[in-house]
Structure 1
Amino acid sequence: MTASETRRQIVVAADRLFYERGFEATSFADIAGAVRLSRGNFYYHFRTKDEILQAVIAHRIDATQAVLDAWEAGADSPAERILSFVRILITNRTAIMAHGCPVGTLCNELSKLDHAAKDDAVRLFTLFRGWLVRQFTALGREADADALALHVLMRSQGVATLATAFRDEAFVRREIDDVAAWLTAQCPPASPPASRPHP
């Protein structure tokens, strides 16, 4: 196995453990054990847990950007693309009900710890926010695109938090349907077709 592949495996394992257990509760030994590396080999790639955290955040940003690019390419309308973001709560419902939103939980934990990387983690939310702003702008809501983007982020975080608390899949599905109805109401009415001059 190459050094870059080993490093990638460490980052993937750390990403999963930070999500499932929390950053502070995850030890070097936990991560090394997950990838079956000795301490010496592990330290060759990362000297501190903070270095791993930075790599995990960078990994999540790259993965998030890839998902956003796929949504952009896979849907014709901005409303469909926004719904792709909202529906991720359904796609990932099992993990969310067990551990919460991976972005929200990391940001909350690092904020409570007043960790130096807390602002780096917020870049994940910023990435979603900017992407949603672009979708609402394309939808014809440029004037309030940022407010609408924040509303969608707020709704998704609220649903994720309560899904973790209550483990209620029916609730998640009802809320997604409600957000979809709200989104339809935000779409400007279709412009009437231009009248053609009589010959």
Structure 2
Amino acid sequence: MSASETRAGIVAAADELFYRQGYAHTSFADIATAVDLSRGNFYYHFRSKDEILAAVIATRLKRTEMMLADWEKAAVDPLVRIRCFIDIVIRNRAEIKRFGCPVGSLTTELAKLGQQGGGEARRIFDLFRCWLARQFAALGLAASAADAAALHLLAWSQGVAVLANVFHDEAFIRREVREIEARLQSMLPPGRRTGRRARRNPGRP
């Protein structure tokens, strides 16, 4: 295995452990064990946990950018693209029930710990916010209203993730998705209110 492959494996293992255990409760030893590396070989790639955190956040940012780009390619209609975001809650419901939202949980933990990486982690929310605002603007909302709608959807997704993690209730998740679908109609300009879901592109992620 090449050095770049080993490094990528470390980052992937750390990413998963930070999500499942939390940043503070994940040690160098935990990550080294997950990738079956000796302490010496591990330090060859990363000297500190902060370095690993920076690499994990960079990976998540890139992954988010790629996902948003895929949604752009998969659907022309901004309304369908917005629903791709809403569907994240359904697609990832099993993990959300167990561990919460990977972005929200890490950002909140880092803020409590005073970690510098918290600001970088917030950039993932910024990506979603700007992307969602662009979709709402494409539907005809003014810039301020488009940004407000984007923040509303982000707040909704985080609230659902927290309560799903607390109560482990899949029926709650599905009910909330139906309700936000209905509420989405009220956010749209009158000409775009259909009263039903727009047809999705079957090739979307």
TM-score (norm. length: structure 1): 0.94
Corresponding residue number in structure 2 for 1:187:
188
> What is the CA distance between 1:189 and its match in structure 2?
2.7
Aligned to 1:145: 146
Identity %: 58
Partner of 2:38: 38
- 2:199 maps to which residue? none
Matches of 1:141 and 1:76 in 2, distance apart?
17
Q: Deviations over 1:94-127 (max 9, x none)?
A: 0000000000000100000011111111101001
Aligned residues: 191
- Which residue of structure 1 aligns with residue 176 of structure 2? 175
**Which has the larger Rg?**
1
SS at match of 2:127: helix
Deviation at 1:181, TM superposition (A): 1.0
Q: How many Å apart are 1:154 and its aligned residue?
A: 0.3
**Aligned residue in 1 for 2:159:** 158
What amino acid is the match of 1:163? Answer: A
The 8 Å contact of residues 79 and 183 in structure 1, kept in 2 or not, is answered as no
Partner of 2:86: 86
Equivalent residue, structure 1, for 2:20: 20
AA at the equivalent of 1:112: K
**Structure 2 gap ranges (5+):** 193-205
Deviation at 1:75? 1.4
In 1, distance between residues paired with 2:27 and 2:187? Answer: 46
Question: Which amino acid counterpart does residue 108 of structure 2 have in structure 1?
Answer: N
Letter of the 1:90 counterpart: I
**2:120 equivalent in structure 1:** 120
Secondary structure of 1:140's partner? coil
Q: How far off is 1:182 after superposition?
A: 1.1
Q: Deviations over 1:19-52 (max 9, x none)?
A: 0000000000000000001111110100000000
**Residue identity matched to 2:187:** Q
Shift of 1:142: 2.4
The letter of the residue matching 2:70 is: A
Query: Which consecutive segments of 4 or more residues in structure 1 shift more than 4 A?
Result: none
Q: Distance in 1 between matches of 2:172 and 2:73?
A: 30
* Structure 2 residue identity aligned to 1:15: D
Report the alpha carbon displacement of residue 135 of structure 1 after superposing the two structures with TM.
0.5
- How many Å separate the matches in 2 of 1:116 and 1:122? 11
SS in 2 for 1:190: helix
Match of 1:7 in 2: 7
For 1:45-84, what aligned pairs fall within 5 Å after superposition?
Answer: 45-84=45-84
Q: How big is the alpha-carbon RMSD for the aligned residues of Structure 1 and Structure 2?
A: 1.0
